[in-house]
Amino acid sequence: MEPQTYITHHLVKSEDLNHHGTLYAGRTAEWFVESGFIAAASLTAPQNIVCLRIHGMTFNAPVHRGDMVRFESKVVDTGKTRIVTHIEVVVQEKLVVEGFITFVNVDLEGRPLPHGMEITPIEAKDIELQEKARSLSN
């Protein structure tokens, strides 16, 4: 299966700001995980997906009140039970945050459950993202 991009948007409001007047990292993390979850859950039952690790959220630029942030997420790699998503956060066509999240497919008791999926990237960027995802430690 080829990676598909899922897009979500959020408007940055006053309650989303930190003491510097920019988007609070905790709120960013909340939206970041939500976006990655949407991509992972698109491949299997959402109730079977749990977050294992955020591998990084690298901030390249601040985000301000009134900005409309676009989260672009896609599954870039899979293992027997794991699903790795890559998320890019964009404001006015500028990449402001980027990173990976590993999710695990589990049964109703929370035990790892094989999902039977395999991601096959075709585009050069997706191949590069898959290589980066495979180099991440779980």
pLDDT confidence bin for 45, thresholds 50/70/90: very high
User: What is the average pLDDT value for the chain, to the nearest integer?
Assistant: 95
CATH of range 6-134; options 2.30.130.10, 3.10.129.10, 3.40.50.150, 3.20.20.70 = 3.10.129.10
Residue-wise pLDDT for 86-138, tens only, equals 999 999 999 999 999 999 999 999 999 999 999 999 999 999 999 999 999 65
| Residue type at 60 in one-letter notation | N
- The residues near 32 (Cβ < 8 Å, ≥ 6 apart) are 54, 57, 71, 87, 89, 97, 99, 101
CA 124, CA 121: separation in Å to the nearest integer? 8
* Domain ranges for the chain: 6-134
